[in-house]
Amino acid sequence: DAGVTQSPTHLIKTRGQQVTLRCSPKSGHDTVSWYQQALGQGPQFIFQYYEEEERQRGNFPDRFSGHQFPNYSSELNVNALLLGDSALYLCASSPEYGGGHTQYFGPGTRLTVL
Amino acid sequence: AQSVTQLGSHVSVSEGALVLLRCNYSSSVPPYLFWYVQYPNQGLQLLLKYTTGATLVKGINGFEAEFKKSETSFHLTKPSAHMSDAAEYFCAVSESSSNTGKLIFGQGTTLQVKP
């Protein structure tokens, strides 16, 4: 059973560009969350998708947007990249919508903004 | 607002010694509490979680944690450290009243295990 997969593994962009990161949840999971982990920090919640809708959003600007597809996979888009967007972006899936369910994390996408 | 504080950004123990990683949380409603481990260049793996019921929770790889409401703590312990335990450990909290289970993480504690 494949776990959470993310692509690409690494990405280098320049300031002002746009980027799309992709996530496939664990089989049978319908809820996907995205987190940003800056170097030396704990992950910070960006947003969560369930039934193709954004259900909750963390303290991130509108430059960060997302999408969930009917097969539950998800994309994270970041526009007008800033140097401070350099981080590890983690996708997590859970088997049900709601609190208390374990979130299973993917290996992440390392984004470097030059 | 919820928050998590992990006391000690770096903890060093000898192989075979007790591991104690400290976590205190702040939450206005009963919390769900989690410990995750992150190995270099990898994602996070769940060690254990507390939602309801027994306050002493056992997890994988010999780790356990105890939820102490009066102390707002959820410290992680392991009786005997192995070299393979060297990693970054994160404590996280979510609100039981939350529909989404959004996780709030601490800053992390790096565990070093010396031979």
User: Mind listing the pLDDT tens digit of every residue in chain A (114 residues)?
Assistant: 679 999 999 999 999 999 999 999 999 999 999 999 999 999 999 999 999 999 999 999 999 999 999 999 999 999 999 999 999 999 999 988 877 788 999 999 999 999
Q: Do B102 and A56 touch (CB under 8 A)?
A: yes
Whether the pLDDT of residue B1 is over 70: the answer is: yes
Q: Which one has a higher pLDDT value, B32 or B29?
A: B32
| Chain B partners within 8 Å of A99 (Cβ) | 32, 94-101
DSSP line for A13-71: E-TT--EEEEEEPPTT--EEEEEEE-TTS--EEEEEEETTEEEEE-S--TTEEEEE-TT
Look-up of token digits 């600007």:
A61
Whether the pLDDT of residue B89 is over 90: the answer is: yes
**Alpha-carbon distance A97 to nearest alpha carbon in chain B (angstroms):** 6
